[in-house]
Amino acid sequence: MNEKLDTLLEKMRGLETEILRELQKKELEFFYEVRQGKIRFTEEARARHKLLVKRFAAYVRDSRFMIIATGPVIWAGIIPIAILDFFMIVYQAICFPVYGIPKVKRSDYIKLDRKYLAYLNWAEKLNCEYCGYANGVLACATEIAARTEQYWCPIKHALRMKSMHSRYRHFFDYGDAESYRQQIETVRRSFEDIAKSDEPDATAPAST
């Protein structure tokens, strides 16, 4: 394995954790808290938000014609996304136990929490929830595919990639035939870090 690449990827994970902690500080700044998986704003914040709601009629009136015209195209995407979502649920339920791969928690990726924002009208809330669902499904599917790839073909690419998925650092270097043949069964089962990452972070801010 490439130790330098592993170190860089570990630093990236550390930065992602730091970014998450900074985002959590916004709870105090914008007067809300996360409690038992739900978002609760203060009464003062909710009252302020309601003053900023853009009524649906104004929302439509201020939108360009082509924005409205392309709406059905965007919403047509719900069909393949929902099919993908269903397939991913069935796929990992059937295959992952056979491969010995830990299942991906769908709830870790699909977050539908924008409906709690009182400054959004019903159309904005609907659009926002759709975006949250669609991107969550795609992110979840990417993780499921990444774990599958680690089992079936954990080999890094020679060609430059725009981004790397979460399991890529466990893969063999391109062209390293000896390591691949000698350690393939070990890498196929190297998911210990997932169980560790699922443990509560003692240094992270706790939700009430």
Residue 206 lies in a domain: no
Within-domain flag for 176: yes
pLDDT for 22-80, tens place per residue?
766 665 556 676 776 677 777 788 888 888 888 989 988 888 899 999 999 999 999 99
Instruction: Judge whether 202 lies within some domain.
Output: no
User: How many domains, in total, are found in the chain?
Assistant: 1
Predicted confidence at residue 204, as pLDDT, reads 45
> So what's the pLDDT on residue 124?
94
pTM above 0.85, yes or no: no
Q: Give the C-alpha separation, 108 to 84, whole Å.
A: 17
Tell me if 34 is assigned to some domain: yes
Q: Is residue 8 situated within a structural domain? A: yes
Query: Lowest-confidence range among 3-7, 106-110, 198-202?
Result: 198-202
Q: What is the 3-state secondary structure (H, E, C) of the chain?
A: CCHHHHHHHHHHHHHHHHHHHHHHCHHHHCCEEEECCEEEECHHHHHHHHHCCCCHHHHHHCCCHHHHHCHHHHHHCHHHHHHHHHHHHHHHHHHHHHHCCCCCCHHHCCCCCHHHCCCCCHHHHHHHHHHHHHHHHHHHHHHHHHHHHHHHCCECCCCCCCCCCCCHHHCECCCCHHHHHHHHHHHHCCCHHHHHHCCCCCCCCCCC
Inside any domain, residue 73: yes
pLDDT band with cut points at 50, 70 and 90 for residue 88 = very high
The residue range of the domain holding 107 is 3-197
Residue 112 within a domain: yes
Of 7-11, 140-144, 162-166, which gets the smallest average pLDDT?
Answer: 7-11
Give a yes or no: residue 50 inside a domain. Answer: yes
Q: Greatest CA separation found in the chain? A: 66
